[in-house]
Structure 1
Amino acid sequence: MVVHNIVTDRLIIIPMTYSMVCTVLSGSTEEYKKLGVNFNGKWPLQDTLDILHFIKDKMKKTDADGFDVWMVAKKEDMTVIGDAGFKGAPNENGEIEIGFGLIKEEQQKGYGYEVASSLMEWASQKNIVKVIKADCLIDNIPSIKLLKKCGMNEIKRDNEFIYWEKFTIY
């Protein structure tokens, strides 16, 4: 399955391949120069590197299907400002979990909503996805507002996290 970039008003959201993940983990930017993206030295975040180390071997065994990591670049200058994605393909109940992270300098500008809503729309178009889930820290007010704006509903909370979901079919 070929997964295409998602283009929004201000962003290009690029599905990362195994080769791209290996390039980021090696500290090189050669693979990305071929794509025409620029780096400002603030991405990847440590959380991103941790995720890439975790999923690298899985990605080697499968084709990119869009249910892993996507790189987020500003359309105006193709500078990478973050990443987003899913924590794997849908489970047997059609559930996936979304996550996203932007460099600090690009937060609070509406990019998070643009990324999250676009990826949720992309996933909703896949017949195998029935529910999109997310979680955020209980005191992360910007993420709470963003998830609500994306149409997600709080389903539970504990002392640390709020858990969210959105049904893709009704």
Structure 2
Amino acid sequence: MRTLGGERVEEAVTGAVALLRTATDRDWKGTRAGRLAWDCLYTAEHIASDLIAYAGQLAGRATEAYVPFELTLEEGTGNEGVLQVIETTGALLAAAVRTTPREVRAFHPYPFRSANREGFAAMGIAEVLLHTHDIAEGLGLAHEPPAELCTDVLTRIFPRVRPGADPWRTLLWATGRGDLSGRPPVTEWRWHNNMVIPAERLTLQGVTPAAAADLAEGGDGGFAWVGSGPFQGTRDAAGMLLKAYEAGTHRPEWGVFVLVRKEDGRAVGAMGFHGPPDEDGRAEIGYDLAEDGRGRGYATEALRALSAWPSARQHGTTLLAKIDRANVRSQAVVTRAGYRLVAEDEKLLAYELRD
């Protein structure tokens, strides 16, 4: 799996600064930054402010709000000076991403009030790419960042955006900065970090399209698994998520979650939905555990947590689980989690949890 770490932050910053440095002799303060109401110099300062803010969130392990500080440049700082600040704050974010453990999450409001190191890296890269575009548009410069970098951002913090043939044009469209053939203009947008649901011994960590693609291809999805690794059902579910993402129908709240032990950060299985509720308000749930994670009550604990999560219970949603007749252990899991048998045939037993 292509890791979204400090080196990607550095790649974005290096490319942006190299481009903007070709125009430091221009009047940035007197030039509007593309479609923004800001001038180019202020927009460059904003890039630096975002980079240091994200580094501060990770380094400070802030969980309730933004760390209360801001970046102030010396009076009279010019174009070259602000580029030096972008390089410096970019290096600080890259260092924070590299040194933050995978399981750490820090406060960010959109949309689930936290993000991990990959989320902050993706947001920092997005700030650099998009606001460099704004400045370049104002100054009349051609800006074409690497397609892989744009895909990194889209597959981690834009899970609702159907991918396009051109990742950069898709990212511009998704943030209201351009048109895309066959899609309506975007006037409001937010990026989405992955959702995490707490349980007693586990956390249920939302699988991003990037992680789903890796799992479906036989990788680890960026998770540290127990020795036996992901079971086939996890890979199949990841493939379903990826198809929904490619069709533009993926909804993260109704996606797949990897079950991660709090004690050691090891993934022991996966659980999630086959998709959003149908027209009758039913959403089917499924799960499996890695062989090394079985027999310890993890599935029951995770199912109770996921079934009680507000997104899964809103608007009177009925949760459905279909279990093979021969799978007695799984039947016991859903029963312990409060599901009741409602139908059966020769092969399957259907259980429901109603509001």
The 3 A distance-change label for structure 1 pair 129 and 41 is: farther
Local SS of the residue matching 2:285: strand
The 3 A distance-change label for structure 1 pair 125 and 63 is: closer
Percent of aligned pairs with the same amino acid: 23
Q: Which residue of 2 aligns with 1:45?
A: 231
Taking structure 1 as the reference length, the TM-score comes to: 0.85
Structure 2: gaps of 5 or more residues: 1-110, 113-193
Q: Deviations over 1:118-165 (max 9, x none)?
A: 110015654235211101111222111111111111111111111111
Q: Deviations over 1:6-62 (max 9, x none)?
A: 111210110111111122234445x62xxxx41235222122222322331212425
Q: Which residue of 1 aligns with 2:216?
A: 25
Contact 1:96–1:129 under 8 Å retained in 2? no
Deviation beyond 6 Å, 4+ runs, structure 1: none
User: Shift in Å at residue 82 of structure 1?
Assistant: 0.5
Distance 1:154 1:62 in 2: 30
Contact 2:307–2:313 under 8 Å retained in 1? no
Q: Which residue of 2 aligns with 1:93?
A: 280
Q: Which residue of 2 aligns with 1:144?
A: 331
Deviates more, 1:117-126 or 1:153-162: 117-126
Task: Select 1:8's aligned residue among 196, 199, 209.
Answer: 199
Local SS of the residue matching 1:116: helix
The residue type paired with residue 235 of structure 2 is: L
Task: Select 2:260's aligned residue among 67, 73, 77.
Answer: 73
The residue type paired with residue 301 of structure 2 is: E
Task: Determine which structure has greater relative contact order: mean sequence separation of CA pairs < 8 Å that are 6+ residues apart, divided by chain length.
Answer: 1
Contact 1:95–1:129 under 8 Å retained in 2? no
User: Shift in Å at residue 81 of structure 1?
Assistant: 0.7
The 3 A distance-change label for structure 1 pair 25 and 140 is: closer
The residue type paired with residue 25 of structure 1 is: A
Local SS of the residue matching 2:224: coil
Deviates more, 1:145-154 or 1:61-70: 61-70
The residue type paired with residue 121 of structure 1 is: A
Distance 1:27 1:141 in 2: 28
Deviates more, 1:112-121 or 1:2-11: 2-11
Tell me the matched-pair count.
163
* Pair member with larger Rg: 2
Q: Does 1:120 align with 2:307?
A: yes
Taking structure 2 as the reference length, the TM-score comes to: 0.43
The 5-angstrom pairing of residues 148-167 of structure 1 reads: 148-167=335-354
Local SS of the residue matching 2:283: strand
Supply the RMSD in Å over aligned alpha carbons.
Answer: 2.1
The 3 A distance-change label for structure 1 pair 5 and 124 is: closer
Greater strand proportion? 1
The 3 A distance-change label for structure 1 pair 129 and 98 is: farther
